[in-house]
Structure 1
């Protein structure tokens, strides 16, 4: 049985109680007839605005089609009253037809962006207007159709139109509609609608189909709009196409924005606005469209969230002190728990993959992936960035998107690849995401409860117990944006555990957490081991990962390359090579005399994103004319360090000092090219950003084009999207050279490239170094950096673990150790001194 708390019942009762009080006042006759008519009309428009308001606020859909549903209800009432239909038949007919059309629009629109939804609903509204004008036998065309009385088939009496009775009915129905909406607010229906709107991919992972939710939301909203149309016919007593024009669509959106999308009181504000806006426009001597435009612009600029939410925030600021915005973790002092022993060979095999492959067009992200997981076993998946790990997890959870999946995956004795993503939650699969993709408009408790189709008292109790287990009970009524990063990750885990999955998929759960938070997470994983849950986990924090894993499978370039027990798997030369790189012959580098001036110096630099610490206490000097490699696993802090060296990101703490008039350029990870622009246009954009124009621009273009390989110089008019990955990387470097930098920072120059292209990219970077440019390479491959750099710095979890010259064999041994496990810099510094 669903639970409705007393406070929710009290809120729901407000609407009917206010309606009864207003009807009592109207019945005394103290309100003039015209004003009483306006109140009845305001009640009608409140129901109409409510239908659009909740659709926009809860489902994120802005509809232009609602005047059509409004008209549908009105014409059903008018036509039915002249053909002997009962009140019940009119209501059911209007509701059924509008629900069918609404479900179609919602389901079809869910496949497109907001712009296309607007166009789809606009087309439906225009077609409806044409039908109203042409179907004269039903609508009366431009002449309209009069509304007569409606008799109830259930013996509830006769409803006469255009009288005080109709006004009372409109006020009463508006009160009931608000009560229904108030009762729906704490329901699973609203939570699942908001979840589907907030993050469709995360919603699918917990069994919510965004298309189905959009169709349901649109259908229910259309029914409310049609009901408002029936009320309009009763209150006005006459139906014609004029009130249902496209102007009403714009007015409805303005009313919703003014009142506040998703707020019940906002519907009343919007209903009053639609009723009295014409009178207000006339009183100030402005055309109504101008007044509506002014109101809409003012609401968008100055009343974010609408009048109701704006006033609510103002009142809360006045009556209480603001709470701290970010809530931090609860401290735990327990030691890391010991993992449960691995299940024996006789344990049931829960999951088996055989030769699974995933291709995105011509790109193979996964190939020949075969592995198995037993009940109660924790399997760790490791590998460098781009190895195919997240693609593998997406295969298990059905979130591959446009990828083509081949091979076999058997879960619990049934084919997993044939199951929809939304069905896999019911099969017993739960997952977390690398960046903790929670639903921002739901509270912490609601983020867990939305996994249920119906919410019972038992569900609420279990959700509260789960939040207590993960240390979130004290923030159950807060929103995710108020949480620290560690609490955010716990919430993602709690949602994945909400229905006690048999297979738990964890995507980089340790990333960004401090030692205490990692201990708590390890305890949660061990708890799942004890209850027999199979866990598949990927992460780059190998110490914590290996502490809870029973078995490890290593991937590289989309293929499994090694398997074994934790710690021992890194002894496999192929696995170490995938992380550290092969390197190759050491390239020719410019000589250094040991007395170079510093291009950039960092002193005690820390950096944090919200609650996530990316860098800790970094002291680093980049000598002029040198090639420095910054090496580390994914998540070690390389990109953040690169942006601070570049000067585009100020450190949270510490100091960056640059020598002289240093010009720096950054080639970001992933290249960030403008794919639809040509090669020449990409270079010109960089020149414009550096304020280079006219003759100087032509000179720079010629110089930079000369640096490009001949095959690119001959294709300067080709869009960048037509280049190979390696060619795009060369173009990205060339774009950075347009500003003639003194120091070039390249983030992951070899990412996703073939060995031949890696060699070409590094050869061109070496050429720049020999010409005197300072170069900083942010790399995952220790071997590659060692073959191309004067000095290598190894980052581990945001700190400088070791640094030195690759020519020193003792340094390389320490660098390998530091890459995986971290190491204090002091011994190396002493050795160098």
Structure 2
């Protein structure tokens, strides 16, 4: 489909005109005398509340901030108007003063609240309203205290005449201003302002990577919303003719939120519905003979239960269903690339360095995620970063993009003559650093086009045309008006790349861009990287799909345990013994394993199992039998499908294809990657939670707890009341295994037992797992290290891109050599040769 190049589409202009046009029609009706005077007054009040609900609803819908401060900002505008009218201020001075003061207060609240969670923002705005209401009551010389203050006439400094309060003219003005406010909101909807607000709300970290500061966006959004609330307050004073504290209580804050939810937060018509709801709810409550709070509560509960998102969005969905046309699949663009990928030649050694890292380290508490990292990247060079899971690769990319979070960073990073570590994350985009994420962190509430345009502070026709050209070049032009959630995974990843390319970066940082893509999609992505090489863009890329990674890389740097362990060209890097060891681990002597009984009775059998997450295929055609009493190792690089296979073996994840058969009465337990402990609970409480989940209580729980505690090392048994967060990484891993043992499983599945541990702790964890196997437990180890698995398992299965590449017993002659080759490229040449023979 074609996307309009103009900033304001015809539909946007039409929506913007509808507000003032409806206001003019309504004013004409009011002026005709058809409506009784008391209802004319109610319409004026409804117009005031429409502006107020609009200010709260758009702040919540676009910026994700629910405010309890708006009654105070509303009151500020009203008191400003009343005080100014009695002291000779002009109409323009009153409006500008009220709007300006409210905007300044709103900017403060938004900026301060952006540092906290939603709960603390609510408490901050609640405190602001409580203090403001107290000031109104005590500052009698300005507000009149509980007695209030009357409104008088306001003269226009621009010669527009005199405006009397509490008259029909004031009511007409309120209606007209409400129409204009709706028009301004309609014009803002396709603007960069709204896009950046939604981006900051949807995904703050991804927003920072494209130069959007969530704190600044929150301050801006709150300032604009506060200005509209104060304007509504000025209108209220004009329509009512008298200002007192009564209308601005905390009950109004609750009613405002209810009105926004009832109408639909973030919608324009929803603001009109919410304004009418606030105006006529008291009369409706009186008409049915129930207190107003009860009626409002019932209406709000009904809206939340039966009209999720609000009345207007619910009715819109109903209308779309009734008028729905047959669903159409996403059109597929022609894919022009069929030949092999050929990267441009590497830049000459004399080419200036664009990026240099010297002794970079990152520490999270006592954990060193990166240590002594030093490397360089020339302009136009593509450098691949490889290494096992936990080697520090993503931490390195986060250092470059300024997204380390709570980590302490040391060392020096020079980028194009700039000390990058001293530069804010949001400023690095302007310096020319673009970033993608491992899981394609796009902005779900923005369309594909808006995901690209939100990288700009202002959207011009030329920028929109450039965005269309970029989307077409990357194969997304046909889905420009779709939301990311409507796209298959491959297009989702392309969108992440398109957003990174929108500002034509000099340094492109890619985090596992090939992960989860099929062969044709990986070829297309490789083509995009080659295009950037042709433009002279430097690329730093990490991935575990080594074939495609090496096809575009000029140089490879290998990491392990947070430090570089090797460097070279793609053709020779894997010949480095240190690099191979980082992936495959040290084989060593095989530990003592329990003998198998020879019956090979299956604990779990998988037949033709496949699994997909959305459009991503994680497993393909897995045939696997785990015999009772055996130790089976499932080995593969990150993204090979090990964790998915572990969850299917555990029985918590049903496969999308194929079947799982388990021995009768088999009890299984899974120790997930990362341990997933309850860090704030003690060791004992972590174990008790597992027992409760298994239905164990009372005396049985105490007995099970005593038995499991005996399995723990003495240093943990002595600290059963210490919080799990106080343990070392290895101790946490042992506790995670112990927690799984509370269910007395027949089959124990442990995902990445050595992740992030020192060699000594790896030996201890594996030693305890070996003891469980010798006691008769069936164990499945999901590992990245082939050497560790070979030394601890009866049988090893190597996964590559979701399929079994090779399977056998480590003791068999030649198996480890075949497994090493299959680990990296998925091929088992020996098996192929045997079949051909």
- TM (norm. structure 2) is 0.98
2:147 is matched with which residue: 140, 143, 147? Answer: 143
Could you tell me which residue of structure 1 aligns to residue 571 of structure 2?
567
Q: Which runs of 5 or more structure 1 residues have no equivalent in the other structure?
A: none
Quote the Cα distance in structure 1 between the aligned partners of 2:769 and 2:7.
Answer: 65
> CA distance change for structure 1 residues 748 and 330 in 2, over 3 Å: closer, same or farther?
farther
- The alpha-carbon deviation at position 2 of structure 1 amounts to 8.3
Give the SS at the match of 1:96. Answer: helix
Give the SS at the match of 1:425. Answer: helix
2:539 is matched with which residue: 519, 535, 538? Answer: 535
Give the SS at the match of 1:808. Answer: coil
Quote the Cα distance in structure 1 between the aligned partners of 2:238 and 2:192.
Answer: 34
Quote the Cα distance in structure 2 between the aligned partners of 1:322 and 1:290.
Answer: 43
Quote the Cα distance in structure 2 between the aligned partners of 1:396 and 1:353.
Answer: 9
Q: Which moved more, 1:528-537 or 1:4-13?
A: 4-13
Quote the Cα distance in structure 1 between the aligned partners of 2:797 and 2:476.
Answer: 38
Quote the Cα distance in structure 1 between the aligned partners of 2:82 and 2:162.
Answer: 15
2:120 is matched with which residue: 113, 116, 119? Answer: 116
Could you tell me which residue of structure 2 aligns to residue 482 of structure 1?
486
Q: Which moved more, 1:330-339 or 1:210-219?
A: 330-339
- The alpha-carbon deviation at position 680 of structure 1 amounts to 1.3
Quote the Cα distance in structure 1 between the aligned partners of 2:24 and 2:708.
Answer: 78
Could you tell me which residue of structure 2 aligns to residue 468 of structure 1?
472
Could you tell me which residue of structure 1 aligns to residue 368 of structure 2?
364
Report if aligned partners of 2:602, 2:663 keep a CA contact under 8 Å in 1: yes
Quote the Cα distance in structure 2 between the aligned partners of 1:681 and 1:456.
Answer: 58
Quote the Cα distance in structure 1 between the aligned partners of 2:736 and 2:330.
Answer: 38
Could you tell me which residue of structure 2 aligns to residue 550 of structure 1?
554
Give the SS at the match of 1:204. Answer: helix
Report if aligned partners of 1:332, 1:516 keep a CA contact under 8 Å in 2: no
- The alpha-carbon deviation at position 131 of structure 1 amounts to 0.6
- The alpha-carbon deviation at position 7 of structure 1 amounts to 2.1
Quote the Cα distance in structure 1 between the aligned partners of 2:730 and 2:382.
Answer: 37
Could you tell me which residue of structure 1 aligns to residue 807 of structure 2?
803
Could you tell me which residue of structure 1 aligns to residue 736 of structure 2?
732
- The alpha-carbon deviation at position 336 of structure 1 amounts to 3.2
2:67 is matched with which residue: 63, 66, 84? Answer: 63
Quote the Cα distance in structure 1 between the aligned partners of 2:26 and 2:830.
Answer: 79
Could you tell me which residue of structure 2 aligns to residue 48 of structure 1?
52
Could you tell me which residue of structure 1 aligns to residue 637 of structure 2?
633
Could you tell me which residue of structure 2 aligns to residue 425 of structure 1?
429
Q: Which runs of 5 or more structure 2 residues have no equivalent in the other structure?
A: none
> CA distance change for structure 1 residues 538 and 327 in 2, over 3 Å: closer, same or farther?
farther
Could you tell me which residue of structure 2 aligns to residue 449 of structure 1?
453
* 1:716-745 per-position Cα deviation (integer Å, ceiling 9, x unaligned): 111111111111111111111111111100
Could you tell me which residue of structure 2 aligns to residue 694 of structure 1?
698
Give the SS at the match of 2:193. Answer: helix
- The alpha-carbon deviation at position 458 of structure 1 amounts to 0.5
- The alpha-carbon deviation at position 683 of structure 1 amounts to 1.0
Could you tell me which residue of structure 2 aligns to residue 284 of structure 1?
288
Quote the Cα distance in structure 2 between the aligned partners of 1:336 and 1:244.
Answer: 69
Could you tell me which residue of structure 2 aligns to residue 254 of structure 1?
258
- The alpha-carbon deviation at position 213 of structure 1 amounts to 0.3
Quote the Cα distance in structure 2 between the aligned partners of 1:725 and 1:442.
Answer: 40
- The alpha-carbon deviation at position 321 of structure 1 amounts to 3.0
Quote the Cα distance in structure 2 between the aligned partners of 1:336 and 1:459.
Answer: 33
- The alpha-carbon deviation at position 148 of structure 1 amounts to 0.7
1:168 is matched with which residue: 166, 172, 197? Answer: 172
- The alpha-carbon deviation at position 713 of structure 1 amounts to 1.4
- The alpha-carbon deviation at position 332 of structure 1 amounts to 5.6
The 5 A counterparts of 1:704-783 are 704-783=708-787
Could you tell me which residue of structure 2 aligns to residue 8 of structure 1?
12
* 1:56-102 per-position Cα deviation (integer Å, ceiling 9, x unaligned): 00000000000101000000000100110000110011011101100
The 5 A counterparts of 1:203-352 are 203-321=207-325, 323=327, 334-352=338-356
Give the SS at the match of 2:655. Answer: coil
Quote the Cα distance in structure 1 between the aligned partners of 2:793 and 2:333.
Answer: 41
Could you tell me which residue of structure 2 aligns to residue 406 of structure 1?
410
Could you tell me which residue of structure 1 aligns to residue 197 of structure 2?
193
Quote the Cα distance in structure 1 between the aligned partners of 2:469 and 2:251.
Answer: 51
- 2:649 matched to 1:678? no
Report if aligned partners of 2:383, 2:539 keep a CA contact under 8 Å in 1: yes
- The alpha-carbon deviation at position 333 of structure 1 amounts to 5.4
Could you tell me which residue of structure 1 aligns to residue 443 of structure 2?
439
Quote the Cα distance in structure 2 between the aligned partners of 1:747 and 1:564.
Answer: 31
Give the SS at the match of 2:431. Answer: coil
Give the SS at the match of 1:459. Answer: helix
* 1:123-149 per-position Cα deviation (integer Å, ceiling 9, x unaligned): 000001001100000000000000111
2:97 is matched with which residue: 82, 93, 112? Answer: 93
Alpha carbon RMSD of aligned pairs, Å? Answer: 1.5
Could you tell me which residue of structure 1 aligns to residue 396 of structure 2?
392
Quote the Cα distance in structure 1 between the aligned partners of 2:768 and 2:11.
Answer: 69
Quote the Cα distance in structure 2 between the aligned partners of 1:628 and 1:389.
Answer: 29
Report if aligned partners of 2:50, 2:271 keep a CA contact under 8 Å in 1: yes
Report if aligned partners of 1:522, 1:548 keep a CA contact under 8 Å in 2: yes
- The alpha-carbon deviation at position 325 of structure 1 amounts to 8.1
Quote the Cα distance in structure 2 between the aligned partners of 1:342 and 1:826.
Answer: 35
Could you tell me which residue of structure 1 aligns to residue 589 of structure 2?
585
Report if aligned partners of 2:60, 2:265 keep a CA contact under 8 Å in 1: yes
Could you tell me which residue of structure 2 aligns to residue 790 of structure 1?
794
- The alpha-carbon deviation at position 593 of structure 1 amounts to 4.1
Quote the Cα distance in structure 2 between the aligned partners of 1:329 and 1:287.
Answer: 60
Report if aligned partners of 2:818, 2:828 keep a CA contact under 8 Å in 1: no
Report if aligned partners of 1:628, 1:791 keep a CA contact under 8 Å in 2: yes
- The alpha-carbon deviation at position 661 of structure 1 amounts to 1.1
Aligned residues: 832
